[in-house]
Amino acid sequence: MVVLVMDPKYQPEYQPIVDKYGGRLAFANPGEERQGSVENGLSKLAELAGDACAYVAVHDSARPLVTIREVCDVVTDAKEHGAAVLGVPCKATIKESEDGSLVLRTIPRARLWEVHTPQVIKIETLQRGFKKVAEEGLEVTDDVSIVEAMGEPVKLTLGEYTNLKITTPEDMDVATAILDDRKDEKVTELI
């Protein structure tokens, strides 16, 4: 089951695709922030799949270059640990600043990971997490942050640097080059 969280004004454009996969695709409306969108998508998934689905993989459409191997690896890790997130070790040096003007300190790069999507979590865990977030008024920046807030483990699954987030025109140029590199690769079933 795939739930597409999408503004209702765009849903009619994608309805033929949803119809084509009869019962395996559905829409959910977005929330005001990412957190609300994920919660709406999770509610729709739980409503439609019921007990037939134990895990949710939350994926950001701004990361269209994720590979089949990455998806399989993060799902496998989530099944073992309860939650997993794709990521790569940070290559850049990261500075912390309180005012955006002066460096407060350099954060050791060896401990830093840039996280990607999909992020895979047991549905029951994420539902408990959303309850905690609402009760305590927590702000979370990604889905596994909810799991972290509950003190539960999240497995880092080594991903690929090519699973970049496309947010600028330059990112699109890089994505095009990655796709050009991949065009001759055979897609094989890994599951």
The whole-number pLDDT of residue 122 equals 97
The whole-number pLDDT of residue 14 equals 95
Instruction: Report the predicted TM-score, pTM, of the whole model to 2 decimal places.
Output: 0.90
Tokens of 90: 């940070």
CA distances from 181 to 65, 71, 153, 167 (A): 12, 20, 36, 21
**Residue 172 φ then ψ, to 5°:** -65, -40
Strand duo 155-158 + 83-89: pairing: parallel
pLDDT along the chain (191 residues), means of 10: 96 95 93 91 93 94 95 98 97 94 94 96 95 90 92 97 96 94 74 48
Tokens of 111: 């401990």
Give the model confidence (pLDDT) of 20-66 as tens digits.
998 899 999 999 988 899 999 999 999 999 889 999 999 999 999 99
